[in-house]
Structure 1
Amino acid sequence: MFCADRLKVARHRRKLSGKQLAAAAGLTEVTISKVENGHQPDDATIEKLIAALGYPRAFFFMDKPELLEPQSVSFRSLKKMKAAERNASLAAGSNGISLYQWIDERFELPAPDLIDLSIEQERPEVAARLLRQHWGLGDRPIGNILRLFESKGIRVLSLSENTQNVDAYSFWHAEHPFIFLNQKKTAERSNFDAAHELGHLVLHFHAQAESAPEDDAERQANQFASAFLMPDADIKSYINQVYSSSQIIKAKARWKVSAMALAMRLNQTKILSDWTYRSIVIELGKQGYRTGEPLGTDRETSTLLAKVFSALWSKGLTKRDIADDLNLPWEEIESLVFGLTGPATIRPMKASLTVVG
């Protein structure tokens, strides 16, 4: 039976409205509406939809997908986001869940090790310190943020949305935490986004809409991320006086954050006065640090997925085989896995997988 929800996922991934899909497929808007509301299409209509969307025929005849509702997802920049961008990102989340279900059938993945810190929503810095204690991190800088997250059972996937409006988002599904990161951002911005989403996962646990108004939730997640990445004690032991932007540019590599994020943290910890902070922000802006990171760090990628693909490749399996198994276009898998490279064309296996933080 043709699955209406899968048609919605495919349409959203292509960022098409019902009207646009109708035009691309040579169908009427009424036909698209009927199909998406459960009316079974004839073969001719199905072929037109397949041609317009570029998804394999079998995709539309699978069981209902896991659909994400906007209220269950913590988005950054939600107010700036267009409906098509939001829907495309949510549909990527649906495909990401399918990918991890496929991986779960073949590998033993790290179990989630997050704690519910929603009681500390009004004290995000305390929440950050408690989670660091729970994970045994102390006050040291985090070497590889994504590797740490994956070792704690967070499923991290990439977004390749070519837009400034979709930074990252997170959600819980079947007791598993997911984070999606836009790869169009700088590495430093992506690191902060990851920590921001971690804040949502532990502070707002199952959706910001259920626990805090959007503005409050974003402020809390930002404060959590800043404190989690740049602990107060480490900041103060490493930097006690700042006179120029060059000191910040040199020091930011320690925490793998942007110059602007470090400047703000130094202001929060009273190392930078408000006047000096404003002056340094102006200096950094003139050097291009407001919109980019001229002297940037290396981008992190998924350690867990790299290990998965390495194990699969050793058995002769590739991302294209995964796409075939999931009846997804190959580029949909590519967009989720940080551009990890390897052979393009495997048979399944069951293996244990350990990711060390």
Structure 2
Amino acid sequence: MMFFNPSRLRFARMRRGFTKARLAKELGLQVRSLQGYENGEYAPEPDKLSTIGEVLRFPVDFFSGDDLPAIEPETASFRSMSKMSATLRNTALGAGVTAFLLNDWIEERFRLPEADLPDLSDLSPEEAAVTLRRIWRLGEAPIGNLIHLLESKGIRVYSLAIEAREVDAFSVWHRAQPFVFLNTFKSAEHSRFDAAHEIGHLVRDRHSMLHGTAHSPDMEREANAFASALLMPRANVLARGHGLLTLEKLIHLKHTWGVSLAALAYRMNQLGLFSEWAYRNLCIQIAKNGYRTSEPSPIRPESSQILRKIFDALRSEGINRAAIAKELCIIQDDIDNLTFGLTLSSVTSPAGSIKNINNRQFIS
């Protein structure tokens, strides 16, 4: 009889957003019977385990694997914990754990950039953003593709295909490796700000994240301030933000920094480019035009460059998503949802960008 790991059943249930009562009802079981499975008191019969796999969308082999790593909620940088249900939080954390499995599989075959993140916890958000720009040699120029920048600094970036406004993004440290997860249902401008926000947590709140210290509203406000300063450096905004600042001009200018109209207006007001009256009037115009929920003149979504290169290399070796999913004992949709919807059959990579080193492929 196949070995059954009860912790994997509990993980699969929470990953798919099922309560014990709901899953028991779907399976035609008493809740006590399901508890017995999850507590390891007894294992489900093969036909029942097959049904569990169908309901939770996990291959039966998944339930015989080793214990999975865990992400404690206190170590993840969720922005609005008070507004988030436990079910939704567990779904997002489960996606993160699945990303760890995929990332381990990738790093067994590819050598990825090492993490290059300083500890800037002793600096204010504005000072930390300026310092990080200096360390990363960004100067005052706008940042092009932010996901590419994060990946070049050794941050593993994965997507969250969760249609819920309560989950903007989150970051976490796993085995001294920083991970950022971005909700792909958000606008490209929103996603860029989220990514910058998570960098703020990684460089300023590392101790709190590693030790599970309570996540506070002040930490969120400071991460927002850091993101604003990182994406829209003071000198650059002041140089471009002169003259009469109309709504139409701001819609044009927001493309310079790849931020939302509201975020740009807030930063310009913070830097003294608006009077309080002018800023309030501008906010009224933004709301009246529906620009808080539907971004005007939207920018193109960003995606992972490293995953594109990896998938291109795998395609050349005849490895497809089905093979990866089978080895990890997950379904192909889980891979798609973590990798910005990229596929192994429709990606290309610049010639010469992948080099063989010690029988592993180096992605730069």
Alpha-carbon displacement from aligned partner over 1:268-310 (angstroms, at most 9, x marks no partner): 1111121111111111122221112131000000001000000
Query: 1:242-281, aligned counterparts within 5 Å?
Result: 242-281=244-283
Q: CA deviation at 1:213?
A: 4.5
Q: What is the alpha-carbon distance in structure 2 between the residues aligned to residue 110 and residue 343 of structure 1?
A: 25
1:306 is the counterpart of 2:308: yes
Q: What is the alpha-carbon distance in structure 2 between the residues aligned to residue 350 and residue 286 of structure 1?
A: 58
2:90 equivalent among 87, 91, 101: 87
- The residue that corresponds to 1:290 in the other structure is 292
- The residue that corresponds to 1:32 in the other structure is 34
- The residue that corresponds to 2:349 in the other structure is none
- The residue that corresponds to 2:235 in the other structure is 233
- SS of the aligned residue for 1:119 comes to coil
Q: How many residues align?
A: 349
Q: What is the alpha-carbon distance in structure 1 between the residues aligned to residue 359 and residue 189 of structure 2?
A: 35
- SS of the aligned residue for 2:41 comes to coil
Q: What is the alpha-carbon distance in structure 2 between the residues aligned to residue 322 and residue 41 of structure 1?
A: 27
Q: What is the alpha-carbon distance in structure 1 between the residues aligned to residue 330 and residue 207 of structure 2?
A: 28
1:115 equivalent among 97, 118, 122: 118
- The residue that corresponds to 1:58 in the other structure is 61
Percent of paired sites with the same residue: 43
1:215 equivalent among 214, 217, 224: 217
- Structure 2, gaps ≥5 residues long: 347-357
- The residue that corresponds to 1:73 in the other structure is 76
AA matched with 1:354: I
Query: 1:89-238, aligned counterparts within 5 Å?
Result: 89-120=92-123, 123-208=124-209, 210=212, 213-238=215-240
Q: What is the alpha-carbon distance in structure 2 between the residues aligned to residue 175 and residue 3 of structure 1?
A: 27
Q: CA deviation at 1:117?
A: 1.1
Deviates more, 1:209-218 or 1:327-336: 209-218
2:7 equivalent among 5, 8, 29: 5
Q: What is the alpha-carbon distance in structure 2 between the residues aligned to residue 213 and residue 69 of structure 1?
A: 12
Task: Provide closer, same or farther for how the CA distance between residues 134 and 214 of structure 1 changes in structure 2, counting only shifts above 3 A.
Answer: same
Task: Provide closer, same or farther for how the CA distance between residues 212 and 203 of structure 1 changes in structure 2, counting only shifts above 3 A.
Answer: farther
1:319 equivalent among 318, 321, 325: 321
Contact 1:128 1:225 in 2 (8 A): yes
Contact 2:74 2:214 in 1 (8 A): no
Question: How well do the aligned residues superpose, as a CA RMSD in angstroms?
Answer: 1.6
Q: What is the alpha-carbon distance in structure 2 between the residues aligned to residue 41 and residue 305 of structure 1?
A: 38
Contact 1:26 1:48 in 2 (8 A): no
Q: What is the alpha-carbon distance in structure 1 between the residues aligned to residue 335 and residue 321 of structure 2?
A: 7
Task: Provide closer, same or farther for how the CA distance between residues 350 and 318 of structure 1 changes in structure 2, counting only shifts above 3 A.
Answer: farther
- SS of the aligned residue for 1:6 comes to helix
TM-score (norm. length: structure 1): 0.94
Query: 1:336-347, aligned counterparts within 5 Å?
Result: 336-343=338-345
TM-score (norm. length: structure 2): 0.92
AA matched with 1:353: F
Alpha-carbon displacement from aligned partner over 1:236-286 (angstroms, at most 9, x marks no partner): 111123431111111000000000000000011111121111111111122
